[in-house]
Structure 1
Amino acid sequence: MASRKSPLFDTATTVGKIMSFLGVSALCGLLAAGLVFPLAATGGAAATAGSDVLEEIPTELSEEPLSTPTRVYASDGETLIATFYEENRQPVSSDGISQYMKDAIVAIEDERFYEHGGVDARGAARALVHNLTSSTQQGASTLTMQYVNNVLNNAAVVRGEGRVLFSGINDKTYADKLREMKLAVAVEQEMTKDEILEGYLNIVLLGGQTYGVEAAAQYYWGIPASELNLQQSATLAGMVQSPNYFNPEYNQDNAKWRRNVVLDNMLSLGYITEEEHREAREAELGVDPHPQPQGCANAELGAYACAYVQQLLLKSDVLGEDQEARDNLLNRGGLNIITTLDVDTQRAAEAEVKATVPPGDDSGAVASIISVEPSTGNIAAMAQSTEYNPAGEFANGETTVNVNVNSEYGGGGGFPVGSTLKPFVAAAWVEEGGSMADIVDAGIDNPEQGDWFEASCLPRGGFRLGVESDSSDGDAWELENVGDDMNRRMSIDYGLYMSVNTATAATVMDMDMCAITDLTDRLNIVNARSREGMNPTSPSFTVGGTELAPLTLASAYTVFANDGVQCEPRVIQEISDWQGNSYPVPEENCEEKMDADVAAQVNDTLVNIAERSPTNNSPFPLGDPPFPMLGKTGTSGENSHTWFAGSSKGLTSVAQVGTFHNNEPLNDKRIGDFGPVERVYGSSIAQPMWYEYMEEVGRNYDTGDFRESPNSEFNNRRESYPRSGALPGGRNGGSSNNSDNDSDNNDSSDEDDNNDDDD
């Protein structure tokens, strides 16, 4: 160890000069004679004079809360999700500690504990003689002094100062020892012996990351400290001298020898009888390790939600002003963090994604589900079809990348969202005074370089496609529809229902692009990697030419279920520590982002999309959903990512199935039990997964009706829509017998052929 200058002692002080003059032997002599401290065994003028010499050493013990594990719970406040700790400790009162344990620690560490006043002059003299006559060194620390040392270390670590004092006698300067002694005397004047013993047994290291007798009893034998028997107590007491060398889990011979030394001491001091001594010495150690797993990799459920919570806290100033302080409090602060996760909803989401795409599936796909309560913004579930493992490989179905969130919180770069953004174009149209019944020409040719788009928020009031410097759509905006007879005049409603790309493009070209981006900005629709909003000079985003995180999409869709009101997503609802202190967390933050009548008009179409049966093996009969629902499919231009974003009145969920790397198409692949099929769409696999999940959990939330559209004439037209059931590529890869017009499978692609849609 590099030499260090103790922050507790400066040789330039009066005390330092005196100690340098006296030297080591004189110091030991003073301690042995009991002249330095007013101990219970001494008194008089000599002790008083000795105390005067040490007046400059502080007597106040600088304490910080004991380092204890942080626990993360589901919304019920009882279901444990994960634990974080640097020191696994479970503080317990003196009444919760076996008397055998108390006697054992006194017998081996400080047999005169109940007789001295903090520093044992007799013990110091014994140590002096031993050190002068032996090649080994022996300390004279009492239990009180050890307690002081541990408290000082804990305080230093909690404050981020590192461990400044050490248990080994060779690690301490004389100043450290003097301070420890004086503080021990002060502690004895403020605390009872039982309180000191309780504090010591809660703070002491007992192997690995296990601290205190309660955590140790639970770890080594799976019992509370109150049930420790004689031999178990002696084993733990024996570990104090060297927690690793005498560890009963790894060094049983050493541990048994040391245990027997403790038992011998207990017998000689009268704590146990001859019979108890003999039986305990003959007993096996009986160690039955009960590891206390920690971190999100060992989460009971919701491992990726756990990681999201961790990322949020480490990036927020709630737990401290900097990363080190936050990490320290998270791992040492004994926090109780109650999340918004619903246990049943989370378990259902995890089961559904893994049933759809088993971890490590040969397809290279990953399935995800995110659920948000529209009325609160509370995240009820966050799941994906991989296992959270920092050392894992995706090929084995393991990764720490959280596909549901933005990259800044441990996510990837998001996925191309396909036609799931089309409803927001329709909503912007209605906001501008239009109607879902308005007719657009979906037979337009592909927009070409130089075509003018209105954009009032730009300096020139618009831009020319592919000409403006901030445009990313290249020479032309290439569009493609899947299905016959789609390049014709149709209502905006019908174009959205059938997911006709040219209908959306025609809508965009007939309106102000900035009206669309104004709405997407209000709804916090941002790119998953750059966190930038939609670019009005890149109209391809309107048919899916952008990468979003599922949580972003789910939050945006809540406005349709919640009458235009969006509540900021949140996953933490309460943080407190073991002392009862509370920490600020985001409150429910809801704001009207869209007029309720606008949402209701768009919902007319979204309800009809969601309530038709997408596949031959749909979980509910055609046209007979279990409760009102709305939603929209989405498929990327390369058929690499498929989506269904939708909602009941009480739960908005986004289901996604897509390739994890390189936007490789899902076409002609077997994905779990699905396929292979020639072309994979949102209606093929993501939508059925969404239905089955919502069928299971939806009734646990509000299943009421959505707000009715004020346009009653428009509502009465609904019977003209195609209602046939199976769409291309059912859940089990079955063929479709419906006409192209019945399909919700319309694709488009931009110049780069990597961002557009659809389903």
Structure 2
Amino acid sequence: MLKNNPVLTKLLAFFGISALLGALGAGMLLPAGMLAGAASQVGTEMLDQLPAELNEEPLSIPSVILDQDGQEIATFYAEDRTPVDLEDISQHMIDAIIAIEDERFYDHAGVDGQGLARAVVHNVTSDTQQGASTLTQQYVNNVLVNYQNLNGLRTTVSGTKQIPDKIREMKLAVAIEKEMSKDEILEGYLNIVLFSGRTYGVESAARYFFNKSAAELTIPESALLAGLVQSPNALNPENNPESATHRRNLVLGNMRNQGFITEEEYEEAVASEIKLDMNPLPSGCYYAKDGFEYFCDYIQRLILADPAFGPDRESRQRMLDRSGLEITTTLDSDLQKAAVETARRNVPAGENEGIGSSIVTVQQNTGNIKTMAQNTKYEVGEDLGNGETSLNFNVDKDWGGGQGFQLGSTLKPFVAMAWIGSGKSMRDRVDASRNNYDGARFPAYCLPGGHARIGSDGWRPKNAIADMHKPMRMDYGLYWSINTATIAAAYNTDLCAITDITDAAGITDAENNEGLDPSNPSFVLGAYNVSPLTMASAYSTLGSGGTYCEPRAIESIVDADGNEYTVPPIQCSPGALNPENIKELNNTLTALASKRISQGELDFPIAGKTGTNNFESSTWFIGYTSELSTASWVGNYLGNGPDYTLKGKNIGGRYFQDAWGSLIAGPMWVDFMKVAGPKYGTDAFPKFDGPTGDPSQYGGGSSSSSNSNSNSNSNSNSDSGSNSDSSDESSNNDSDDSDSSGNDD
């Protein structure tokens, strides 16, 4: 009956509102004679059951990601809002909003009885609807909406209101007027109200439409913005200029009629054209600073995975979008710009399908990430062009990366660390002549039986340089990245001692976060897929003299109220690797980096190792100074097989008959370090006190090893880690396949 009788519905609404008016205050709103005694009693009971206090929350405002120096990288928001004091808002804007929304604002106590009575009568007797909400009521309504949005509740008080909603709003408005001054209410309203789309508050609206502050708004600009609050989308001047102009002129007429502007000012304002200077605030990583998008994505994923910001992903995203977080990161913008430019110049995105490059840098003794760059354009979706991807080459799968990239020879320094840790010297000789390990048993103290056995398929590794199948010193084998030398070293130490070292240096599979498996000896040639960030951190253990630090991207997080959130602290493990063993290893890695990679272009101490996988689809140079460790990677991010090789490609204006780490990733690393090295300092590495020589020269060496398993079960707890030279060596393409041939760069 009620649904089908609109006249009856209006009459009931009239009597309900009348009852409320009587309860709100005799004589303040309507003459007492208009109210029936019973209705007044009902209204009083209704009000007594409603809360008299408004649940206020901090305004929903954008969060920002900042670099180490406080420069903005990206913004996140659900509502673009910048709260300002009333004194920082143009008086024209204040006058305009009062003129159009609540001309009796300074005369009522929260609810305008005259206006409400007029609206009720109009709505009962007319087919059109007329509102009567005061600015105070509108403020209450917006505060309730803000509360629900911040707490993930369904919004029920916006849009078409039911009588209980209206009653609650009115009671709260009266209560608010007792607690806040008129100026405080005006300030709150102008900071909370919606003006367009996701633009809230007059300061953001002024910037969005006119690219100026709220304090600078002119009369016609103020009138335009004041007119928008009635219907922000329908009256948007960008999409509906005629409707917006009509509404603006209505506001101007009210301002004139109420004495806020003169007739002359009115005539001039209505005759003016709407001149917009649109300046929307970007939101999200897609709109981050150019070249910083992938790092932004990494930061966002870190926050969404952290229970400190909410019990689930949805609540954490809501906090990021609404809580005004100031997220200060470890990123060095100057180095990041240099890394991005270097990655793009050396490997132009889209030049070859699927070929990418990345440069990631961590700081020694802190783990702080200083760069996270790659050559591609950050794009999200399925229909992507060549050179476009959302895949972050630098990180593990859990953080937006893929399955990682095969390490190639970059793992060899860690084998050398185990060799040294077992009591041998880099000047000792290994029998690199052996290239048949069919049925061989490699010592592995942590495995059942104490060994890992090559299966029936056998393993016959190869070297890229044919005449390198001969006995040689360990340092010579590492310098030239000889596969058979590394395998012989592993055969004469212990596979589990090697994985103890890789574990201590934080090396894990990019896809499953598990450490390297010693049961398959081919891992020593770099068959595993690992992320560049993981390897930069592993090599920083060598550059720091044995201290491994977890990679770290966030320095601090503070919300709009100044509350600080707990972020991962610097987490370092001094002595993770043996510093004396690193000194001996560095004699080889410094020679390799200086002679084979820098070739005189860098005038400060460096160390590192190259790497190239089978089919030459992934190339590396990972190097370090005394302060920074940087992984430089160039490869095909679409796959590892022969169809994805870099051989025979023109890359960055150069043709590569062979695609080795020393030829591609190495020079890119040198270009970047010309900027990075001097900024952070480049002290000399501590010198090894024992016997050393030129590792690039063949000859000499003692015969402490001849593939006899002489130290087969040495659990080298003396840790180790090392840096790898990129002589383009490659190993088993499949970490489960023990038949690895290899490119021994």
| TM-score calculated relative to the size of structure 1 | 0.89
Conservation of the 8 A alpha-carbon contact between 2:144 and 2:157: yes
1:744 aligns with 2:744: no
Q: Which residue of 1 aligns with 2:221?
A: 232
Conservation of the 8 A alpha-carbon contact between 2:732 and 2:742: yes
Q: 1:754 to 1:660 in 2, by over 3 A?
A: farther
Q: Which residue of 1 aligns with 2:590?
A: 607
Q: CA deviation at 1:42?
A: 7.4
Q: 1:195 to 1:347 in 2, by over 3 A?
A: same
* Secondary structure of 2:105 counterpart: coil
Q: Which residue of 2 aligns with 1:386?
A: 376
What do the CA deviations read for 1:264-287 (whole angstroms, capped 9, x no partner)? 111111111101111111111111
Q: Which residue of 1 aligns with 2:399?
A: 409
Q: 1:328 to 1:696 in 2, by over 3 A?
A: same
Q: CA deviation at 1:136?
A: 1.4
Q: 1:49 to 1:377 in 2, by over 3 A?
A: same
Q: Which moved more, 1:179-188 or 1:451-460?
A: 451-460
Conservation of the 8 A alpha-carbon contact between 1:406 and 1:528: yes
The AA in structure 1 aligned to 2:519 is: T
Hey, what's the Cα distance between the residues in 1 that align with 2:672 and 2:197?
43
Q: CA deviation at 1:478?
A: 3.3
Indicate the RMSD between aligned Cα atoms, in angstroms. Answer: 2.4
Q: Which residue of 1 aligns with 2:677?
A: 698
Q: CA deviation at 1:294?
A: 1.4
Hey, what's the Cα distance between the residues in 1 that align with 2:249 and 2:340?
50
Q: Which residue of 2 aligns with 1:729?
A: none
Hey, what's the Cα distance between the residues in 1 that align with 2:204 and 2:46?
42
* Secondary structure of 2:634 counterpart: strand
Q: CA deviation at 1:340?
A: 0.7
1:462 to 443, 451, 454: 451
Q: Which residue of 1 aligns with 2:624?
A: 647
Q: Which residue of 2 aligns with 1:36?
A: 24
What do the CA deviations read for 1:678-727 (whole angstroms, capped 9, x no partner)? x210011110010111012210012101111131x2x24558469xxxxx
The AA in structure 2 aligned to 1:57 is: L
Conservation of the 8 A alpha-carbon contact between 1:220 and 1:289: yes
1:182 to 171, 176, 181: 171
Q: Which residue of 2 aligns with 1:597?
A: 580
Hey, what's the Cα distance between the residues in 2 that align with 1:333 and 1:271?
37
Hey, what's the Cα distance between the residues in 2 that align with 1:255 and 1:58?
38
Q: Which residue of 1 aligns with 2:61?
A: 68
Q: Which residue of 1 aligns with 2:656?
A: 676
Hey, what's the Cα distance between the residues in 2 that align with 1:53 and 1:84?
41
Q: Which residue of 1 aligns with 2:499?
A: 517
Q: CA deviation at 1:393?
A: 5.4
Q: 1:29 to 1:567 in 2, by over 3 A?
A: same
List aligned pairs for 1:287-686, cutoff 5 A: 287-301=276-290, 302-391=292-381, 395-448=385-438, 450-466=439-455, 475-592=457-574, 593-614=576-597, 621=600, 625-663=602-640, 664-677=644-657, 679-686=658-665
Conservation of the 8 A alpha-carbon contact between 1:479 and 1:502: yes
What do the CA deviations read for 1:544-578 (whole angstroms, capped 9, x no partner)? 11111000000000011101001111111011112
The AA in structure 2 aligned to 1:72 is: I
Unpaired runs of at least 5, structure 2? 4-8, 700-724
The AA in structure 2 aligned to 1:66 is: L
* Secondary structure of 1:585 counterpart: coil
Conservation of the 8 A alpha-carbon contact between 2:19 and 2:42: no
Hey, what's the Cα distance between the residues in 2 that align with 1:393 and 1:485?
49
Q: Which residue of 2 aligns with 1:147?
A: 139
Q: Which residue of 1 aligns with 2:231?
A: 242
What do the CA deviations read for 1:469-496 (whole angstroms, capped 9, x no partner)? xxxxxx2233111124311111211111
Hey, what's the Cα distance between the residues in 2 that align with 1:256 and 1:213?
19
The AA in structure 2 aligned to 1:578 is: A
* Secondary structure of 1:654 counterpart: strand
Conservation of the 8 A alpha-carbon contact between 1:447 and 1:477: yes
Q: CA deviation at 1:445?
A: 2.4
Hey, what's the Cα distance between the residues in 2 that align with 1:235 and 1:72?
33
Q: CA deviation at 1:298?
A: 1.1
* Secondary structure of 1:670 counterpart: strand
Q: CA deviation at 1:540?
A: 1.3
Q: CA deviation at 1:671?
A: 1.1
* Secondary structure of 1:396 counterpart: coil
Q: CA deviation at 1:591?
A: 0.8
Hey, what's the Cα distance between the residues in 2 that align with 1:461 and 1:39?
96
Q: Which residue of 1 aligns with 2:181?
A: 192
Q: CA deviation at 1:613?
A: 4.2
| Identical pairs, percent | 47
Q: Which moved more, 1:105-114 or 1:294-303?
A: 294-303
Hey, what's the Cα distance between the residues in 2 that align with 1:333 and 1:76?
22
Figure out how many residues of one structure are paired with residues of the other and give that number: 700
Q: 1:394 to 1:89 in 2, by over 3 A?
A: same
* Secondary structure of 1:308 counterpart: helix
* Secondary structure of 1:163 counterpart: coil
Q: Which residue of 2 aligns with 1:124?
A: 116
The AA in structure 2 aligned to 1:420 is: T
Q: 1:212 to 1:743 in 2, by over 3 A?
A: closer
Hey, what's the Cα distance between the residues in 2 that align with 1:757 and 1:84?
46
* Secondary structure of 2:452 counterpart: strand
Hey, what's the Cα distance between the residues in 2 that align with 1:517 and 1:158?
48
Conservation of the 8 A alpha-carbon contact between 1:749 and 1:757: no
List aligned pairs for 1:66-105, cutoff 5 A: 66-77=59-70, 79-105=71-97
Hey, what's the Cα distance between the residues in 1 that align with 2:24 and 2:531?
68
Conservation of the 8 A alpha-carbon contact between 1:543 and 1:757: no
Q: 1:284 to 1:369 in 2, by over 3 A?
A: same
Hey, what's the Cα distance between the residues in 1 that align with 2:452 and 2:732?
21
Q: CA deviation at 1:360?
A: 0.9
Hey, what's the Cα distance between the residues in 2 that align with 1:602 and 1:625?
21
Q: Which residue of 1 aligns with 2:149?
A: 157
Q: Which residue of 1 aligns with 2:716?
A: none
Hey, what's the Cα distance between the residues in 1 that align with 2:544 and 2:131?
70
Hey, what's the Cα distance between the residues in 1 that align with 2:647 and 2:323?
50
The AA in structure 2 aligned to 1:90 is: T
The AA in structure 2 aligned to 1:557 is: Y
Hey, what's the Cα distance between the residues in 2 that align with 1:719 and 1:656?
24
Unpaired runs of at least 5, structure 1? 4-19, 468-474, 723-741
Hey, what's the Cα distance between the residues in 2 that align with 1:684 and 1:146?
67
Conservation of the 8 A alpha-carbon contact between 1:388 and 1:398: yes
